[in-house]
Amino acid sequence: MTSETYSETAMPGTAPRHEDTSIAARNRLVINILLVSAFVVMLNETIMGVAIPPIMEALGVPASAAQWLTTAFLLTMAVVIPVTGFLLQRLNTRPIFITALSLFSIGTAVAIVSPNLEILIAARVIQASGTAIMMPLLMTTVMTLVPPEARGRTMGNISIVMSVAPAIGPTISGLILNYLGWQWLFILVLPIALGALLLGMRKMVDVSEPRYAPLDALSVVISAFAFGGIVYGLSNLGVPAAPGTLSPLVPLGVGLVAMVVFIARQLMLQKTDKALLDLRTFKSTNFTFAVLMMAIMMMAMFGTIIVLPIYMQDVLKLTTLQTGLLLLPGGLLMGLLGPQVGKLYDRVGPTKLVVPGMIVVSAVLWAMTLLGPDTWWVYILAGHIVMSIGFAFLFTPLFTVSLSSVPPQLYSHGSAILGSIQQVMGAAGVALFVALMTARTNGLAEAGATQLEALSGGVRTAFLCGAVISLFAIAVAFFIRKPAAQPGAEAFAGH
């Protein structure tokens, strides 16, 4: 149904009221199917973290090789996400959904029967190809179907997916690996993925309006070098290079140069509406500030996600399962608060939510600069819960503000840019935190500190970096405003 048709049927006297009701019911079904599917693919992203050691032992491979299970996934995400802006314009909702979840399901099935590391890495690449499509598809569909005054509540539901899935991933992984082999991480995910795929094939309907969008093949190639090079380089900073391998500074340098070329080409192509990623989204000051704040937040969050478990296991000597269980309440609370924060956003706007939310996150990061070998685990639990509450007040408003601030025809580009920023800045946060932690730990060890004291000092330095970065995000938070209605947004949301 086109926007023109919807406008006509919505006028009094021109259509029965049940048609509007059926459209609303259809839209809810489509969004719910996408939410369930996105939850499955995002859960898969974090269940692998604690599985690397058992896989190394089972397949007889060193850490430098096994790390490719994570690196290859991140690289694929970084390369595919920029292309989703084009896909979401050219193709309808249903075929994109079926393609994304089919790729994910195929990758999961291949992972179950993988006899060696090479095939398992290939399976992760196939999984990542589907995962990269799913989140931009969800975000763009929500912006297309939901009117501006109700987007906060819907984005609150999306924040459940974005916070609960990554939070429970390590816990589920720890439980499974305590009793079963690593293959069960994929065996248990596959039926859920296939169930969502079959439900989508039966119930998913086309709600977008495909339009002609040229594909600039050169931009795709350049973006692969740009995003792939940066993410790969950042992901390997602070990690000892295997003998005979390139320094991570080489791909990082190539990626940065390619990014400059990519941006220049997009600026040229967008004059004729041929850009792979249309950077006119940044003409909106609100979008720019929201993306900047999201970038800082992703650095702090992903850095914390990596460093905090290292501290808990290597300094406090907690088990993998204990670590996962301690981090679980915060993630669940973040998800439960999502819809409530969404309702608050619709009532009071973003500024009154993101400013206190960012201040809370910053306060916890500063508190984490005091961690030591004798810190009581209850403090870690309390700090993580408080930080999760702060993040809950950030996710929903920032996603809603950023995409609501651009014209409807740029929704797909805005979603792709947000996804790319998350991947790049998440990798940057991990690289920065790990590099600082490693450097400080080595320095203290050389100065005569014990192993626990040295690692504690390294962890404190990493969190100090996050705490300083968070101050910039607090400053940016004051500039976030509720976006004005975009011309055509109401009609666009009527599909």
Residue 337: name the closest of 353, 324, 316, 326 by CA: 353
**Could you report the per-residue pLDDT of 130-144, keeping only the tens digit for each?**
888 887 888 778 777
Give the chain's domains with CATH numbers. Answer: 3-492 (1.20.1250.20)
Residue with tokens 């929704």: 411
pLDDT score of 45: 73
Cβ contact 150:343 at 8 Å? no
**What is the C-alpha to C-alpha distance for residues 140 and 412, in angstroms, rounded to an integer?**
6
| DSSP secondary structure letter of residue 407 | -
Q: Dihedral, CA atoms, 388, 391, 396, 402, nearest 10 degrees?
A: -160
Tens digit of pLDDT per residue, the chain (495 long)? 333 333 333 434 444 444 556 667 777 788 888 888 888 887 777 777 667 778 888 888 876 677 778 778 877 887 888 888 777 777 787 888 899 999 999 999 999 999 888 999 999 999 989 888 887 888 778 777 777 777 777 777 777 777 677 667 777 777 787 788 888 989 988 998 899 899 888 877 766 666 666 778 888 889 888 888 887 787 776 565 666 667 878 888 999 999 999 999 989 988 887 888 888 888 888 899 999 988 888 888 778 877 887 888 888 888 777 877 888 888 788 878 878 888 888 888 888 999 999 999 999 999 999 988 888 999 999 999 999 899 889 888 888 888 888 888 788 788 888 878 877 787 778 778 888 888 888 888 888 888 888 889 999 998 998 899 899 999 999 998 888 765 554 444 444
**Could you report the per-residue pLDDT of 341-399, keeping only the tens digit for each?**
888 888 888 889 999 999 999 999 999 999 888 889 999 999 999 998 998 898 888 88
**What is the C-alpha to C-alpha distance for residues 135 and 72, in angstroms, rounded to an integer?**
19
pLDDT score of 113: 92
pLDDT score of 212: 62
pLDDT score of 215: 77
pLDDT score of 495: 45
Count of beta carbons in the 10 Å neighbourhood of residue 198: 12
**Could you tell me the pTM of the whole model?**
0.75
**What is the C-alpha to C-alpha distance for residues 302 and 355, in angstroms, rounded to an integer?**
20
Sequence letter at residue 194 = L
Q: How many Cα atoms are found within 13 Å in the side-chain-facing hemisphere of 116?
A: 2
pLDDT score of 20: 59
Q: How many Cα atoms are found within 13 Å in the side-chain-facing hemisphere of 337?
A: 23
pLDDT score of 354: 92
Q: Which residues contact 194 (CB under 8 A, 6 or more apart)?
A: 105
**What is the C-alpha to C-alpha distance for residues 127 and 110, in angstroms, rounded to an integer?**
10
pLDDT score of 243: 62
